[in-house]
A and B are shown apart, each in its own frame.
Chain A
Amino acid sequence: GAVVSQHPSRVICKSGTSVKIECRSLDFQATTMFWYRQFPKQSLMLMATSNEGSKATYEQGVEKDKFLINHASLTLSTLTVTSAHPEDSSFYICSASLTSGYTDTQYFGPGTRLTVL
Chain B
Amino acid sequence: AQSVTQLDSHVSVSEGTPVLLRCNYSSSYSPSLFWYVQHPNKGLQLLLKYTSAATLVKGINGFEAEFKKSETSFHLTKPSAHMSDAAEYFCVVSSSGGYQKVTFGTGTKLQVIP
Which residues of chain A come closer than 8 Å to B46, judged between CB atoms? 105, 107-108
User: Bound state CA distance, A111 and B45, in angstroms?
Assistant: 11
Which residues of chain B come closer than 8 Å to A46, judged between CB atoms? 101-102
Which residues of chain B come closer than 8 Å to A95, judged between CB atoms? 44
Which residues of chain B come closer than 8 Å to A102, judged between CB atoms? 94-95, 99-102
B51 interface residue (CB < 8 Å to A): yes
**With A43-B90, A43-B105, A103-B32: A108-B44 Cβ-Cβ less than 8 Å:** yes
Which residues of chain B come closer than 8 Å to A44, judged between CB atoms? 44, 90, 104
Measuring CB to CB, which residues of chain B are less than 8 angstroms from any residue of chain A?
32, 34, 36, 41-46, 49, 51, 90, 94-96, 99-102, 104-107
Instruction: In the A-B complex, list the 5 residue pairs whose CB atoms are closest, starting with the nearest.
Output: A108-B44, A110-B43, A108-B43, A103-B32, A111-B43
